[in-house]
Structure 1
Amino acid sequence: MTITDEWVADALEAIQLPRRLRLRLTRNGLTVVPVTQAHLTTQRRIANQIEARMPGWMPIGEFKILPAREGYKPEPDVSVLPEDQWDSGSSEFDEGLLPFVVEVVSPESKNRDYSTKPEHYAMRGIPAYLIVDVLSASWQLLTQPENGTYQCTQSGPFGKDIQIPVADQTLVLDSSQFMRV
């Protein structure tokens, strides 16, 4: 990590924002992101489905992925960990522990969620990346990362089940539960 990366990381932790806003470090600099109720509700409903449908696994959110790469620690909206790997006192988890990540699209994040983050997550070897677009009421599941690119893409409208491979099982999410802006 360079001196600049350390300074940015320190600044991100020191800046206090209202709970309805998030500060994100992107390739274009620091961005203030408003969080909509559709985003929050969808994020919560995904976590609730994970908890109900995957015994032995714990849904996680509001965390950073380690290690930092290019000074960047992605902060997906939802993921899951085996219960024995979950640490209630941690807000950072190693990329090798995550079988998938979910990003819920906001107006501000749409371009990054579709064009920048797939590269970041595939480069980290995260097996599946789910984009839940509350703006268009659709989803896209990217799987099989290879050389920084996901090789397989599935998509559908809200209302269609999403099947995410997780270890030796399949998580089925009911996308009819997701909210639209």
Structure 2
Amino acid sequence: MTIAESWVELVQDQIQVPRSARLRLTENGLTLVPVTHAHTATARRIANQIEAGLPGWAAVGEFSVVPPREGYKPEPDAAALPLDQVRSGDSEVSEKLLPFVVEVVSPESRNRDYNTKPSHYALRAIPAYLIVDVLSARWTLLTRPDDGEYQHRESGVFGDQIEILVADQTLTLDSSQFMRI
């Protein structure tokens, strides 16, 4: 870890952020980001569907993906872990354990979610990356990471079923449950 990365982690740990906002490290530095009801409700509904649709797995959110790469630890809005890998005291999850990650788009995060995070997740070889855009009521599923790029893309509108392969199961998300701004 570089001195700059250590400093950023120290600052993030020391700043008191209201529950209605998140502190994010972006290309522009540390940014305070408001969290909308649509964002929170959609992430919760996805987590509920993960719990119901993936026996033997737990929904996780509010964590950092490790190890840091290029000084960055992404923080997806939702993902799933095998029950035997859930550590209640951890706020970090190894990229090797994640079969997919979900980002719910906010006005502030749109560019990162579509243009920056795909390469971050593909470089980590996370098999699937789902972008849920509450601004446009659309979703995009990126799969088959290879050499820092996802090779396959599916898109649709809220109301569609989204299928994500997870180990020997298929998780089906009902996007009609997602909320639009």
If the TM-score is normalised by the length of the shorter chain, which range does it land in?
over 0.9
Q: In the alignment, residue 37 of structure 1 is paired with which amino acid?
A: H
Shift of 1:28: 1.8
Cα deviations by residue, 1:29-49 (Å, 9 ceiling, x for unpaired):
111110000000000000000
Shift of 1:96: 0.2
% identical aligned pairs: 68
How many angstroms apart in 1 are the aligned matches of 2:28 and 2:168?
39
Show structure 1 runs of 4+ deviating over 6 A.
none
The aligned residue for residue 62 of structure 2 is: 62
Match runs of 1:15-164 below 5 Å: 15-164=15-164
Cα deviations by residue, 1:100-159 (Å, 9 ceiling, x for unpaired):
000000000000000000000000000000000000000000000000000000000000
How many angstroms apart in 1 are the aligned matches of 2:4 and 2:90?
25
Shift of 1:27: 1.8
Q: In the alignment, residue 55 of structure 2 is paired with which amino acid?
A: P
How many angstroms apart in 2 are the aligned matches of 1:129 and 1:13?
27
The aligned residue for residue 11 of structure 2 is: 11
How many angstroms apart in 2 are the aligned matches of 1:55 and 1:88?
19
Of stretches 22-31 and 76-85 in structure 1, the one that deviates more from structure 2 is 22-31
TM-score, with structure 2 as normaliser:
0.99
Q: In the alignment, residue 125 of structure 1 is paired with which amino acid?
A: A
Shift of 1:14: 1.0
How many angstroms apart in 2 are the aligned matches of 1:160 and 1:67?
34
RMSD: 0.5
Aligned residue pairs, count: 181
Cα deviations by residue, 1:53-95 (Å, 9 ceiling, x for unpaired):
1110000000000101111110000000000001111110100
Q: In the alignment, residue 34 of structure 1 is paired with which amino acid?
A: P
Q: In the alignment, residue 130 of structure 1 is paired with which amino acid?
A: L
The aligned residue for residue 168 of structure 1 is: 168
TM-score, with structure 1 as normaliser:
0.99
Shift of 1:97: 0.1
Q: In the alignment, residue 87 of structure 1 is paired with which amino acid?
A: R
How many angstroms apart in 2 are the aligned matches of 1:118 and 1:126?
10
Q: In the alignment, residue 176 of structure 1 is paired with which amino acid?
A: S
